[in-house]
Amino acid sequence: MRNNTRIERIVGIPLGAGLMLLAACAEVQQTLEENARRSGNPQLAQAIKGTGTLISGLLPIGEEEEQSLGTSIALQVVARSGGLYEQPDLTRYVNLVGRSVAATSDRPNLDYHFAVLNDQSINAFATPGGYVFVTRGLLKQARNEAELAAILGHEIGHISQKHMLDVIQRTKQIAGISQAGLAYANQDPRVFQKLIDTVTKKLLDEGYDQGKEIEADRLGVIFAARVGYDATAYLGFLNRLRGLKGDDRTLFKTHPNFSARIAEVQSVIGSKGYASTGVVLADRFSQVSSKL
């Protein structure tokens, strides 16, 4: 009970208040579409449906462009990952935890949205602009709220460090879109679609390079610990996955092996002086995750 009170004080939002952070998974879809319409470029809204164009000025990628590109990629992630899991209470809960962690990140002012994918694989994804997805399979492997906070913190780390924007910059060349060719891309929906398709495929099939994954692990622990969660909890999650898959790197295709990731998290915990005295909230997580 004291743990619940403490975390509510840290977060500033009691779980039982019923705040509609995100009413249902369907609202995630609506938010994505509304963001596209509000981008100030009516062509972009068409592009998200596969018939529009790339916003000009893609290089450099500013925050408005980041949000617009992230919306397009997020829609693709949902479509290619079994759709959204329609469980409003679970969605609200994941948003509560995720937004609490995001508020301590290096980019707290983004409008973050979190959703559960109806996919039994063990994975999570983040797209530019603040969209974070976790699969049902991943949530089934977690044991408490502190683990979930670090998992979401890992994805928030990708967003805060603009890892996907780096991928997009490189992918423009892969997709045949040079800086000089952006004016052409602005007039040809096929060029825009090729860019989004290529980036989404890389995110889902290949992931980030090992350096980015290690950085995201480090930041995930730090962000979660800033809220008050037990930083050592993430070690339990990583050890559990290593027990399932060993160090063969087939679970997360481009992640470092689990031993390397565990060593990095232990290093962060030691250097920051984190002790295993933070909030875990296993009972609360168990109650909500039973809806999986």
Backbone φ, ψ for residue 229 (5° rounding): -75, 155
What DSSP string describes 224-288? HHHHTB-TTHHHHHHHHHHHHHTTSS-SSTTSPPHHHHHHHHHHHHHHHT--TTSB--HHHHHHH
**DSSP H stretches of helix in 15-113:** 25-37, 42-48, 63-80, 88-102
Beta bridge partners of 116: 134
Is 0.75 surpassed by the pTM of this model?
Answer: yes
The answer to whether residue 15 scores a pLDDT higher than 60 is no
3-state DSSP assignment of residue 116: strand
- The amino acid occupying position 76 is Q
- Of 51-65, 67-81, 117-131, 202-216, which gets the smallest average pLDDT? 51-65
The CA distances from residue 281 to 11, 58, 204, 250, 286, in Å, are 13, 43, 31, 30, 9
Give the torsion sign (CA, 194, 195, 200, 201).
positive
Give the torsion sign (CA, 141, 27, 40, 187).
positive
- Alpha-carbon torsion, ordered 268, 214, 227, 156, to 10 deg: 170
pLDDT in tens, 219-261: 999 999 999 999 999 999 999 998 987 765 544 455 678 888 9
Instruction: State the pLDDT at residue 213.
Output: 92
Helix 88-102 and helix 282-289, axial crossing angle in degrees, nearest 10: 140
Interatomic CA distance for residues 149 and 147, integer angstroms: 5
Instruction: State the pLDDT at residue 287.
Output: 95
- The amino acid occupying position 184 is Y
Q: How big is the chain by its Cα radius of gyration, in Å?
A: 19
Tell me the pLDDT of the chain averaged across its residues.
Answer: 78
- Residues in contact with 68: Cβ distance below 8 Å, sequence separation at least 6, in sequence order: 35, 36, 39, 41, 44, 55, 129
Beta bridge partners of 117: 84, 135
Sketch the domain layout of the chain as residue ranges: 2-289
Per-residue pLDDT band for 138 (boundaries 50, 70, 90) equals very high
pLDDT in tens, 261-278: 999 999 999 999 998 888
More confident residue, 117 or 291: 117
The CA distances from residue 57 to 74, 182, 187, in Å, are 21, 8, 13
More confident residue, 52 or 289: 289
Instruction: State the pLDDT at residue 14.
Output: 40
Q: Are 291 and 144 a contacting pair, CB within 8 Å? A: no
Instruction: State the pLDDT at residue 42.
Output: 52
